């Protein structure tokens, strides 16, 4: 595709107007001030008038099938929410429920410009197949909850992860990756955590986990483990010897920052979910200042309740100022970086997340003709503070159009909606 005479946000998060952007195969092949001499080689010419081209968004922490739980379990703090509503409902979900919940999530994410996501849930094979068909990128992990103290090699997940690695890891030209998982400190034990850490190192894969989401989680961890916070606990067991994405990190203590930075841990910031569940606000301004890679996540639809990551950008920017009483605590450019390049880095995708020649053609295009986009005194500020996910008109992953003007080539959206509605009624009748 050749995007003609379009505005774009470049790798330095600066606006460039009247640009031509060509994609060939999975890559951005050309960026220039005029049409390339071989313009005909690029195929379709896309009229860029009134459009803004951005790097596609990366959702660094999601639970895709939880679209089925949207609006279920409202008004409860995290641990009551999990124990009283979420876990009983999830126990009734079938692999097919996970499949259609994921399909619905993919449609929603693509609609809002998300090209890839890091997902923690169950029925991983079903989820991976859906994402492959939808055309998106995913780092998938099968959720590990292990209250019984047993070696990881004896846990059923050990064999399942080997099967998932063999069938899916690195497939679809690298779009699909398998991560290993530890749900959280409070849903595991040191023996299995140490085993997962070693297995991930042996397999050369990433780890995804929850850490320090609530104050009570952090304080109870300290009581159980000789004063160690969740970050210190995971570090002591070798988890952070692997590339890791730690979701939430709301209740960090001073020593945690250096651990996260020095171990190269990415933090998946989920401001909407954290505030909705009353968990608090993560100190992302300090994380960024300390040199930690902060990415942005929506979390699941039962605690957000949508995948409009532009909404999460808006809340991320505002909440940092509210938390610090400093409107300069983080900038709009830092927020956009968190939603794009930082998210790609958190997934280990070094050739993704910015608009540059030679990078993967992961692109979203926004309609900027609406009244909320005028005037354009600062394009990135408009994206963060004035834009909406509904402004996205095209989402491209590895050079293939996966969403455009209400059409999803790889997803039967109407069937996904119907199947999810049917699943909800069945499960509620069984509870």
Superfamily in which the 57-346 domain is placed by CATH? Metal-dependent hydrolases (3.20.20.140)
Q: Which parts of the chain sit beneath pLDDT 50? A: none
Q: Output the six-digit token pair for 375.
A: 């005037």
Q: Classify residue 360 by its DSSP letter.
A: B
| pLDDT at res. 157 | 96
- Are 213 and 275 spatial neighbours (Cβ–Cβ below 8 Å)? no
- Taking the C-alpha atoms of residue 262 and residue 128, their distance in angstroms, rounded to an integer, is 32
Q: Classify residue 308 by its DSSP letter.
A: -
| pLDDT at res. 79 | 86
H-run or E-run covering 28: strand 27-32
Q: How far is CA 145 from CA 14, 181, 351, in A?
A: 44, 9, 33
Q: Output the six-digit token pair for 302.
A: 């039962």
Question: 3-state DSSP call for residue 182?
Answer: strand
The string of pLDDT tens digits covering residues 191-234 is: 999 999 999 999 999 999 999 999 999 999 999 999 999 999 99
| pLDDT at res. 248 | 98
- Taking the C-alpha atoms of residue 260 and residue 268, their distance in angstroms, rounded to an integer, is 12
Q: How far is CA 385 from CA 14, 53, 170, 370, 379, in A?
A: 16, 17, 36, 14, 10
| pLDDT at res. 361 | 98
| pLDDT at res. 399 | 98
Domain boundaries, the chain: 2-54+361-404, 57-346
| pLDDT at res. 385 | 97
Superfamily in which the 2-54+361-404 domain is placed by CATH? Urease, subunit C, domain 1 (2.30.40.10)
């Amino acid at each position: 595709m050749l995007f003609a005479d379009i505005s774009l946000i470049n790798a330095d998060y600066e606006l460039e107007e009247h640009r031509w952007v060509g994609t060939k195969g999975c890559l951005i092949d050309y960026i220039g001030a005029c049409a390339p001499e071989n313009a005909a080689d690029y195929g379709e010419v896309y009229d860029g008038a009134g459009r803004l081209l951005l790097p596609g968004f990366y959702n660094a922490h999601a639970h895709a099938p939880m679209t089925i739980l949207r609006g279920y379990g409202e008004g409860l703090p995290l641990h009551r929410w999990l124990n009283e509503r979420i876990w009983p409902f999830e126990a009734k979900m079938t692999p097919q429920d996970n499949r259609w919940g994921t399909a619905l999530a993919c449609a929603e994410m693509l609609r809002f410009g998300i090209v890839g996501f890091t997902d923690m849930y169950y029925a991983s094979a079903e989820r991976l197949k859906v994402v492959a068909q939808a055309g998106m990128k995913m780092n998938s992990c099968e959720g590990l909850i292990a209250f019984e103290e047993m070696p990881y090699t004896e846990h059923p997940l050990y064999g399942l992860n080997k099967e998932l690695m063999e069938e899916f890891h690195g497939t679809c030209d690298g779009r699909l990756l398998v991560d290993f998982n530890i749900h959280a400190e409070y849903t595991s034990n040191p023996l299995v955590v140490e085993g997962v850490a070693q297995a991930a190192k042996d397999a050369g894969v990433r780890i995804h986990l929850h850490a320090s989401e609530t104050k009570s989680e952090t304080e109870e961890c300290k009581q159980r483990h000789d004063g160690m916070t969740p970050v210190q606990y995971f570090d002591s067991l070798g988890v952070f010897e692997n590339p890791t994405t730690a979701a939430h990190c709301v209740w960090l203590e001073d020593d945690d920052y250096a651990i996260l930075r020095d171990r190269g841990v990415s933090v998946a910031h989920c401001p909407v979910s954290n505030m909705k569940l009353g968990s608090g606000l993560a100190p992302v301004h300090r994380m960024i200042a300390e040199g930690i890679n902060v990415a942005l996540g929506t979390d699941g639809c039962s605690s957000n309740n949508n995948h409009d990551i532009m909404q999460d950008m808006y809340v991320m920017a505002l909440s940092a100022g509210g938390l610090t009483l400093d409107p300069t605590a983080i900038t709009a450019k830092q927020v956009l970086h968190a939603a794009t390049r930082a998210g790609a880095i958190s997934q280990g995708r070094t050739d993704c997340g910015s608009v540059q020649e030679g990078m993967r053609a992961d692109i979203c295009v926004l309609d900027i003709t609406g009244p909320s986009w005028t005037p354009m005194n600062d394009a990135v500020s408009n994206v963060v503070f004035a834009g909406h996910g509904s402004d996205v008109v095209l989402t491209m992953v590895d050079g293939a159009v996966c969403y455009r003007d209400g059409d999803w080539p790889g997803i039967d959206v109407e069937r996904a909606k119907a199947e999810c509605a049917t699943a909800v009624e069945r499960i509620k009748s069984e509870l």
